Amino acid sequence: MKFATKVLHAGIEPDPTTGAIMTPIFQTSTYVQEAPGNHKGYEYARTQNPTRNVLQNNLAALENGKYGLCFSSGMAATDAIMKLLNPGDEVVSTNDLYGGTYRIFTKVFERYGIKFNFVPMHVPGTIEKKCTAQTKLLWLETPTNPMMNIIDIAAAVAAAKSMSALVCVDNTFASPYLQNPLDLGADLVLHSVTKYISGHSDVVMGAIITNDAGLNERLQFLQNACGGVPGPQDCFLVLRGIKTLHLRMQRHCENGQHLIDFLASHPKVDKIYYPGLPAHPNHVIAKQQMRGFGGMISFTLKGNKMEDALKVLSGTKLFALAESLGGVESLIGHPASMTHASIPKEEREKNGLLDSLIRLSVGVEDAGDLIDDLEKAIG
Ligand SMILES: *Cc1c(COP(=O)(O)O)cnc(C)c1O
């Protein structure tokens, strides 16, 4: 099955009791047993829910994986993966990381004796340099947030295999439509389903996909033991959102390119960060491992003044000023004062995250309207 067919059909069957073509919302906490231990595979809804099962199977298929597990948020999914580790284990991760991931690593799991190294993973050779005999996990995010760095997944996998560490790729920014890390040898794929997969800014959810039966079993144990599961209504909404994932992603990519053309010719725009630009330092790798470049764009303004950026941020009408990304409607954000404000200015600037950096999540509206909106705001 090709992607456009999978989003509609993989793991999804009409309801056997009624023929309902849409997966029912099994809004139940428990299931009646005929005799103790004699049940239909469902005992308690933290452990299994039929609506969730369908979504998990569909997500697994979209990532070319065998197993999918859903969690109450992307962070709950991250939490489960970290609990695969033991005190003394080390993690090597990128230095341009989703803020919440950086927070759970440094503020939660460091206290449990896990050590984290943050390195510019997009620079070839840096991963190997930081790895030790204790390194048990490589944590990749590509493209990164907000600098849109691209990490070579296959090269990271090769480095990890030589010391039997696991590789997890946070594939939220690309979505399974643009990139499938399991195909490149990654052990685990993580999604904030909240973003492109759900796509309508109305659900918070996370997912993990793997091909490894042993890892899946340990993660399923953690999903049930720790309890960060999504409710069936949210699973239904995500199943509904996924049906148009390919169509939305196509438009996100097209609109992204239109916005890039506009920004590249604007006299007030300085640097543009987008993996689809031939001048992007990792463009060649992006072309190899991605099928398109998506709708996430960061750019800076000439002169690098915070107040100029803030004027743009409050000047747009279609681009809504908000955190998050990946929804059908366009969003605009300011990492220095919003998502990355907790990182000291010198640290931010070391990674290129300047005060005038603006991040766009380009939606699926008319590209001309989006350009007009941004043009008026930049002035
Ligand atoms: C949003 C996000 C997360 C966290 O997901 P939640 O669903 O908000 O918990 C993790 N990684 C990336 C790249 C994200 O954008």
H or E element in which residue 224 lies: helix 213-226
- Verify whether ligand 1 is closer than 6 Å to residue 316 (CB atom): no
Whose CA is closest to atom 5 on ligand 1?
74
The pLDDT > 90 percentage for the chain reads 93
Res 339: pLDDT:
84
- 213 has pLDDT over 80: yes
**CATH architecture, domain defined by 3-242:** 3-Layer(aba) Sandwich (3.40)
Instruction: Quickly list DSSP for 193-217.
Output: TTTTTT-SS----EEEEES-HHHHH
- Verify whether ligand 1 is closer than 6 Å to residue 204 (CB atom): yes
- 343 has pLDDT over 80: no
Res 173: pLDDT:
97
Tell me if residue 348 is catalytic.
Answer: no
- Verify whether ligand 1 is closer than 6 Å to residue 195 (CB atom): yes
* Best residue among 145, 195, 339 to mutate for probing ligand 1, ranked by most atoms within 8 Å of CB: 195
| Residue 342 exposed, middle or buried by CB count within 10 Å (0-12, 13-18, 19+) | exposed
Residue 195 to residue 365: CA distance in whole angstroms: 17
- Verify whether ligand 1 is closer than 6 Å to residue 171 (CB atom): no
pLDDT tens digits, one per residue of 50-105: 999 999 999 999 999 999 999 999 999 999 999 999 999 999 999 999 989 999 99
H or E element in which residue 169 lies: strand 166-170
* Nearest alpha carbon to residue 140 among 206, 195, 83, 185: 185
> Order of strands, edge to edge, in the sheet holding 115-119?
67-71, 206-210, 188-192, 166-170, 135-141, 90-94, 115-119
Residue 290 to residue 124: CA distance in whole angstroms: 18
pLDDT tens digits, one per residue of 287-306: 999 999 999 999 999 999 99
- What's the first-to-final CA gap in the chain, in angstroms? 47
Which amino acid, one-letter code, is at 144?
A: T
Mean pLDDT of 296-317: 96
φ, ψ of residue 43 to 5 degrees: the values are: -115, -45
Which amino acid, one-letter code, is at 261?
A: D
The tokens of 218 are what? Answer: 């340990």
pLDDT tens digits, one per residue of 253-269: 999 999 999 999 999 99
Which amino acid, one-letter code, is at 302?
A: K
Secondary structure E strands in the chain:
67-71, 90-94, 115-119, 135-141, 166-170, 188-192, 206-210, 269-273, 296-301, 320-321, 331-333, 358-361
Please state the atom number of ligand 1 nearest to the C-alpha of residue 173: 13
Res 342: pLDDT:
74
Q: Tell me the pLDDT of the chain averaged across its residues.
A: 96
Mean pLDDT of 344-351: 85
- Domain positions in the chain: 3-242, 245-378
User: At which residue do the structure tokens 């239904």 appear?
Assistant: 236
Residue 270 to residue 79: CA distance in whole angstroms: 38
Catalytic residue among 79, 96, 152, 170: 170
Length of the chain: 379
- Count CB atoms within 10 A of the CB of residue 275: 27
φ, ψ of residue 21 to 5 degrees: the values are: -75, -30
Query: What pTM did the predictor assign?
Result: 0.97
Tell me if residue 369 is catalytic.
Answer: no
Q: Is 371 left (phi over 0), alpha (psi -120 to 50) or beta?
A: alpha
Task: With cut-offs at 50, 70 and 90, classify the pLDDT of residue 341.
Answer: confident
* Nearest alpha carbon to residue 140 among 106, 178, 174, 177: 174
Please state the atom number of ligand 1 nearest to the C-alpha of residue 145: 13
- Verify whether ligand 1 is closer than 6 Å to residue 194 (CB atom): yes
For Cα atoms 237, 240, 246, give the angle at the middle one, nearest 5 degrees: 130
**CATH architecture, domain defined by 245-378:** Alpha-Beta Complex (3.90)
Cis peptide before 146 (omega within 30 of 0): yes
